[in-house]
């Protein structure tokens, strides 16, 4: 028996992202057909909104054809969690501020400066505060950064709970994110 996805917006968009990752799709009609083969029927208007929601863009490939693609920005719309090829596990955030390893994630978390209001830690937890409505976006950016020392995040409306793998890793993560936010505000 094959796996079945629920018929939800998120599941449909995950199917679209999977198709765009593995196939060169030239049109929405072609994409709708590929979705139908997977048992997902979708109206053209819905498909158009889904493509916009996941950040799909049209790129010109060799030969001049335009195909749909997901953005290359790690942590951007449509990118899979863990999509960043970052430094090896344990090198960040343990790296010294301003080091090459520390710089490696500057681009991976582009929204930190705009969203991080404060960060506090306790044991393997870091509690991040954001403006109202910003927690989901910040948590998603952290999840997509592929930060090996982070086990996961839980987001509310204005608070993100970051769980680290290291029993004492919360403080390092909180400090690294604060450094990152400060550097993004000040500029490189």
pLDDT at residue number 23:
87
Let me know if residue 126 belongs to a domain: yes
Summarize pLDDT for 111-134 with one digit per residue, the tens: 676 788 999 999 999 999 988 888
Domains contained in the chain, number:
2
* Residues 156 and 110 occupy one common structural domain: yes
**102 pLDDT above the threshold of 50:** no
Instruction: Report helix, strand or coil for 13.
Output: helix
Instruction: Determine the 3-state secondary structure of 25 from DSSP.
Output: strand
**Does residue 169 lie within any of the structural domains?**
yes
How much is the mean pLDDT over the chain?
77
pLDDT range class, residue 94, cuts 50, 70, 90: very low
Q: Please tell me the number of Cα atoms within 13 Å of 64 on its side-chain side.
A: 0
Range of the domain at 41: 9-69
pTM listed for this prediction? 0.51
**CATH number for the domain harbouring residue 39:** 1.10.10.10
Each residue's pLDDT tens digit, 151-187:
999 999 899 999 999 999 999 999 988 888 776 555 5
- Residue 69, H or E segment: strand 66-69
Same structural domain, 116 and 167: yes
Tell me, yes or no, whether 78 lies in a domain: no
83 in any annotated domain? no
What integer pLDDT is reported at residue 48 of this predicted model? 93
Q: Does residue 85 fall inside a structural domain?
A: no
pLDDT, residue 8, reads 83
Worst-scoring range by mean pLDDT, 63-67, 68-72, 110-114?
110-114
107 lies in a domain? yes
b (16+ CB within 10 A) / e for 25-57 = beebeebbebbeeeebebeeeebeebbeebebb
- The structure tokens listed for 87 are 């430094």
In this predicted structure, the answer to whether residue 22 has a pLDDT above a threshold of 50 is yes
Joined tokens for residue 58: 């049209």
SS3 (DSSP) at 29: helix
- Do 182 and 127 sit in the same domain of this protein? yes
């Amino acid at each position: 028996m094959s796996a079945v996805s629920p018929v939800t917006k998120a599941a449909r968009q995950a199917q679209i992202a999977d198709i765009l990752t593995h196939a060169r799709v030239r049109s929405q009609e072609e994409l709708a057909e590929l979705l139908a083969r997977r048992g997902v029927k979708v109206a053209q208007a819905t498909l158009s909104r889904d493509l916009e929601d996941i950040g799909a863009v049209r790129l010109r490939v060799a030969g001049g054809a335009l195909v749909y693609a997901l953005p290359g920005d790690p942590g951007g719309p449509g990118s899979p969690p863990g999509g960043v090829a970052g430094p090896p596990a344990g090198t960040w955030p343990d790296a010294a501020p301003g080091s090459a390893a520390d710089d490696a994630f500057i681009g991976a978390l582009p929204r930190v400066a705009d969203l991080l209001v404060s960060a506090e830690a306790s044991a393997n937890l870091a509690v991040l505060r954001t403006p109202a409505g910003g927690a989901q976006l910040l948590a998603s950016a952290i999840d997509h950064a592929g930060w090996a020392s982070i086990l996961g995040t839980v987001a509310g409306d204005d608070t993100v709970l970051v769980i680290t793998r290291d029993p004492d890793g919360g403080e390092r993560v909180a400090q690294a994110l604060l450094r990152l936010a400060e550097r993004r505000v000040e500029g490189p």
